[in-house]
Amino acid sequence: MEISVPFLVLLGEDDHLFLLNNNMTPLGHVLSVVCLRSGNLNWKFSYEIKASSRRNCENRLQLKASVTNTKQWTGLYPSEGFLLVPYDFCDSSKLVLNMSIERWPV
């Protein structure tokens, strides 16, 4: 992920639209996931993000959290779960991430 990109759009099964948010703070990148969809919110999702260090690929930060669901995007969306990745984990222009999203019925 380019470090200057504020979010990535991810298209899941059944046309679910996810946003991987990248908010830059004085301490580092704050990463979270939001699901945008209309209609009935019949599914819950969880996600896992792993960030790898640029200096030592054995050093990783990891988060597993529930995806926030919303019907309307308002820009920055608050989330209970987020991953703070210090700037030292990034190289000059990229953030190395592995990510997965799972769903389960309500």
Q: pTM here?
A: 0.83
Query: Residues 55-66: pLDDT tens digits?
Result: 777 889 999 998
Quote the CA–CA distance of 1 and 5 in Å, as a whole number: 7
Quote the CA–CA distance of 80 and 87 in Å, as a whole number: 22
Query: Residues 3-20: pLDDT tens digits?
Result: 888 888 888 777 778 889
Residue type, position 105, single letter: P
Average pLDDT, the chain: 82
